[in-house]
């Protein structure tokens, strides 16, 4: 009898490409030498460690012991995400600095590195990363004080994507010379602050002449950045910005003035994705009209918006959703709204007027699933849906959607759906073929594939949990 291990080696990469969990890839490595040769590169291709992972701090030490001692495996690593770190100075953690730098130097094909745990980034780690020939994507914690020498950042001169979280004043000072060194290659810049004032209009205006080829710009929590600073980065841009995120910026940000500047220079004609935040002090009708005007000349494919404070009721926003859909519906693949309730009428309009919509993240009142399901069924290419209930102050716990209720909604959706979530719960949607047990069925009768909800296996954090950052 033929066995799974006797499969032709040529088709193993195709099969293994559907295996998502690292544990399952590790099991495949144990089958035989042929399986190992194909599974090991996938196992080490991208490594992600988050703070909620069980024994994450221990696993980091174990991982880098392996990478530092086994260059053969380290060469497979192309993406590394470290969002947890053993900060204790005792035992194994005391020698971790050398283990990490040695391990990183062996990752000779590393292209993207994320290292965001506050206090974990060191000068040795930065030196090891800067020596890697293919590194082009860097996301780091910007709190350098007492941790690393900010001047080492100038060694990264070929980056295409740079993200700095909570930069200290000394790191912000390096942005001016750094932009001169890496500006010719940099296409994607993200600056995320919490309460710091070091990222301001003056700094953005100073670095703008060096960053004329940006295609993605995301500014989050930069409370001293107004429309003037953002416009400085757009005014001289020659590539055409494709992605823009303006989240939790200064209360002095004048959207009307920003719209006039952008429209006069047609600065957002290449824009495909935008992320915006609504703040409580906004005059909502004026602000939403300005946003529709701002995006009128764009080729928008992804629209993301959320409130930084209280939840907005549906009656105040329905005209806004209608305006976005009327202008961009035929191109939209993603429509994402958080902390702003969307009415069932608006959802129906989105699903029926956005024919290639793939991702829908919405806030809805619980109940009336039959009508919601009918609307969702009109979106024929949906791959991911996530619903949030508005958090009511008088409720100790938010309502819970049962798996049966979720399956009822999923069953009405397109067969393209692979992910469904509600509040903090996310399921994968699979459709196993059902064996036809009806002996009277004609030969060639297609098997029925009904949706089934299973545990979420993708090692990536679901995108809907990454949207709200302020």
Alpha helices in 70-133, H assignment, sequence order:
71-74, 96-106, 123-130
Q: Residues near 427 by Cβ (< 8 Å), separated by ≥ 6?
A: 403, 406, 419, 420, 421, 453, 454, 455, 456
**Has residue 446 got a pLDDT over 50?**
yes
Alpha helices in 146-300, H assignment, sequence order:
169-182, 201-207, 227-235, 255-265, 284-294
**Has residue 96 got a pLDDT over 70?**
no
Average pLDDT over residues 205-230: 98
Alpha carbon distances (Å) from 55 to 66, 87, 89, 101, 276: 17, 14, 17, 21, 36
Label the pairing between strands 273-278 and 302-307: parallel
Alpha helices in 363-420, H assignment, sequence order:
369-376, 403-412
**Has residue 314 got a pLDDT over 80?**
no
Q: By the 8 A CB rule, do 336 and 359 touch?
A: yes
**Has residue 244 got a pLDDT over 50?**
yes
What confidence score (pLDDT) does residue 365 get? 87
Q: ∠ at Cα 120 (114, 123), nearest 5°? A: 90
**Structure tokens given for 59:** 């696993």
**Has residue 279 got a pLDDT over 90?**
no
Q: ∠ at Cα 340 (165, 453), nearest 5°? A: 85
Percent of the chain with pLDDT over 90: 71
What confidence score (pLDDT) does residue 438 get? 57
* Domain 48-409 belongs in CATH node 3.30.590.10: no
**CA dist., res. 326 & res. 291, Å (int):** 14
Lowest mean pLDDT among 113-127, 214-228, 379-393, 423-437: 423-437
Alpha carbon distances (Å) from 61 to 87, 405, 441: 11, 42, 58
- State phi, psi for 281 to the nearest 5 degrees: -85, -5
Alpha helices in 276-387, H assignment, sequence order:
284-294, 318-328, 344-353, 369-376
**CA dist., res. 126 & res. 199, Å (int):** 22
pLDDT digits (tens, 9 = 90+) for 27-57: 999 999 999 999 999 999 999 998 877 777 8
What confidence score (pLDDT) does residue 94 get? 43
Number of H helices, E strands in the chain: 16, 16
Domain limits, the chain: 7-47, 48-409
pLDDT digits (tens, 9 = 90+) for 110-150: 999 999 999 999 999 999 999 999 999 999 999 999 999 99
- State phi, psi for 226 to the nearest 5 degrees: -115, -175
Q: At what angle do helices 255-265 and 227-235 cross, to 10 degrees?
A: 10
């Amino acid at each position: 009898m033929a066995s799974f291990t006797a499969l032709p080696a040529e088709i193993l990469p195709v099969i293994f490409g559907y295996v998502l969990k690292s544990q399952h890839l590790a099991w495949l490595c144990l089958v035989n030498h042929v399986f190992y040769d194909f599974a090991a590169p996938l196992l080490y291709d991208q490594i992600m460690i988050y703070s909620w992972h069980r024994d994450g701090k221990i696993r980091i030490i174990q991982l880098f012991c392996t990478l530092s001692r086994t260059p053969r495996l380290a060469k497979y690593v192309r993406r590394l995400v470290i969002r947890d770190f053993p900060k204790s100075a005792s035992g194994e953690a005391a020698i971790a600095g050398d283990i990490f730098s040695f391990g990183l130097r062996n990752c000779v094909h590393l292209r993207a590195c994320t290292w965001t745990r506050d206090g974990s980034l060191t000068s040795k780690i930065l030196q090891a990363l800067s020596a890697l020939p293919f590194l082009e994507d860097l996301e780091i914690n910007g709190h350098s004080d007492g941790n690393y020498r900010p001047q080492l950042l100038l060694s990264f001169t070929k980056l295409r994507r740079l993200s700095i979280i909570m930069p200290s004043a000394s790191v912000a000072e390096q942005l001016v010379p750094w932009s001169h060194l890496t500006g010719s290659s940099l296409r994607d810049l993200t600056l995320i602050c919490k309460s710091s004032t070091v990222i301001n209009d003056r700094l953005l205006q100073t670095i703008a002449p060096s960053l004329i080829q940006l295609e993605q710009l995301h500014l989050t929590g930069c409370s001293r950045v107004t429309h003037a600073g953002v416009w400085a980065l757009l005014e001289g841009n020659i590539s055409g910005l494709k992605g823009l995120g303006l989240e939790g910026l200064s209360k002095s940000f004048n959207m009307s003035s920003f719209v006039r500047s952008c429209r006069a220079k047609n600065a957002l004609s290449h824009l495909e994705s935008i992320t915006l935040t609504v703040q409580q002090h906004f005059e909502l009708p004026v602000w939403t009209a300005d946003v529709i005007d701002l995006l009128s000349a764009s080729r928008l494919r992804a629209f993301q918006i959320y409130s930084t404070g209280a939840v907005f009721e549906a009656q105040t926003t329905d005209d806004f959703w209608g305006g976005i859909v009327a202008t961009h519906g035929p191109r939209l693949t993603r429509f994402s709204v958080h902390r702003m309730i969307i009415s069932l009428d608006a959802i129906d309009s989105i699903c029926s007027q956005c024919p290639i919509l793939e991702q829908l993240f919405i806030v809805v009142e619980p109940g009336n699933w039959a009508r919601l399901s009918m609307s969702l069924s009109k979106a024929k290419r949906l791959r991911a849906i996530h619903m949030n209930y508005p958090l009511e102050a008088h409720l100790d716990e938010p309502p819970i959607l049962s798996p049966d209720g979720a399956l009822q909604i999923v069953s009405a959706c397109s067969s393209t759906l692979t992910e469904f979530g509600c509040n903090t719960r996310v399921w994968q949607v699979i459709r196993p073929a059902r064996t036809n047990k009806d002996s009277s069925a004609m030969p060639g009768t297609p098997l029925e594939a009904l949706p089934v909800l299973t545990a979420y296996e993708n090692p990536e954090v679901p995108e809907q949990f990454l949207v709200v950052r302020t």
